[in-house]
Amino acid sequence: MSAAAEVLSTVAPRPRCSDLPSCPVCADSMVAAEASAYVSDHVISYLWTCDNCGYGFVTKHAVKQRIVRN
Ligand SMILES: [Zn+2]
């Protein structure tokens, strides 16, 4: 890896598992969103439902790339 070329330092880090939310009620980790919806061209909301206690909540995420609609 010593020959690695310099790369742009502005590349955003990719989402990791640590970005997944946890339940505000029981702190259980969310595995996958129940559903997603586009709030606008640049914002996506996710619906999460806790498998442990059944609590549901929504998170919103900004997306940098425009999503091509069908
Ligand atoms: Zn919960």
Distance, CA 44 to ligand 1 centroid (Å)?
Answer: 22
- Distance of alpha carbon 62 from alpha carbon 40, whole angstroms: 9
Exposure of 69 in the CB half-sphere (CA atoms within 13 A): 5
Tell me how far the alpha carbon of residue 52 lies from the centroid of ligand 1, in angstroms: 5
Count of structural domains, the chain: 1
The per-residue pLDDT for range 7-59, each reduced to its tens digit, is: 444 444 444 445 789 999 999 999 889 999 999 989 999 999 999 999 999 99
Domain holding 52, by residue range, is 22-64
- Ligand 1 mean position to 29 CA, how many Å? 8
Q: What is the DSSP letter of 42?
A: T
Domain for residue 58, yes or no?
yes
pTM: 0.62
